[in-house]
Amino acid sequence: MTHAVPRVDAMKPSKPGPTRTAPPRPPDKFPGGGRYPAYLAFGACGAFLMISASLLTRGIWALGNGEAAWDAYRAGLGHPAYLVYHVAAFLGLTWFVLRLFRLFPATQPYRIGPLKRPPDAVLVAGLYGLFFTVLAVGTLFLGGAML
């Protein structure tokens, strides 16, 4: 029994012309249904990354300006608006990075270098462990409880 060989140019237009494509439109449940709210919140955490990094840079700059500038920077962080922002940023970034780690195994190849990829649960547990270890050790160290 022979099979017909499909023609790869079966949809070829008779003459050259602009490609007609439907205009892009959002999926049916976008943005409030299904998994889209979490997906969009994940993307919106980019604002926490940019703003928090900028505030950190401002602090480094103040540090370079001397003790009075550094103390003024620290005193400024006690303003209610900063406190509210930083509570939200801490919660948002923690959720962001834990979600990133949950998605991480799906982005990895079957083999990582010469080794077979570990089971997804092991990979995720390792990344969670890394995050909470850095958070705990970093907090103790920077907070003066270590050294």
The residue ranges that bind other proteins (CB under 8 A) are 24, 26, 30-31, 40, 42-50, 52-57, 59-61, 63-64, 66-67, 70-71, 74, 77-79, 82-83, 86-87, 89-90, 93-94, 96-97, 100, 130-131, 134-135, 138-139, 142-144
- Measured from the CB atom, the residue of 47 and 125 that comes closer to other proteins is 47
Q: Does 26 sit behind a cis peptide bond, omega within 30 degrees of 0 on the bond before it?
A: no
Q: Provide, rounded to whole angstroms, the least separation between the CB of residue 114 and other proteins.
A: 21
- Measured from the CB atom, the residue of 61 and 119 that comes closer to other proteins is 61
Q: Provide, rounded to whole angstroms, the least separation between the CB of residue 92 and other proteins.
A: 10
Cα–Cα dist 136/130, whole Å: 10
| Sequence-distant (≥ 6) Cβ neighbours of residue 36 within 8 angstroms | 27, 29, 30
- Per-residue b or e along 3-23, where b marks 16 or more CB atoms closer than 10 Å to that residue's CB: eeeeeeeeeeeeeeeeeeeee
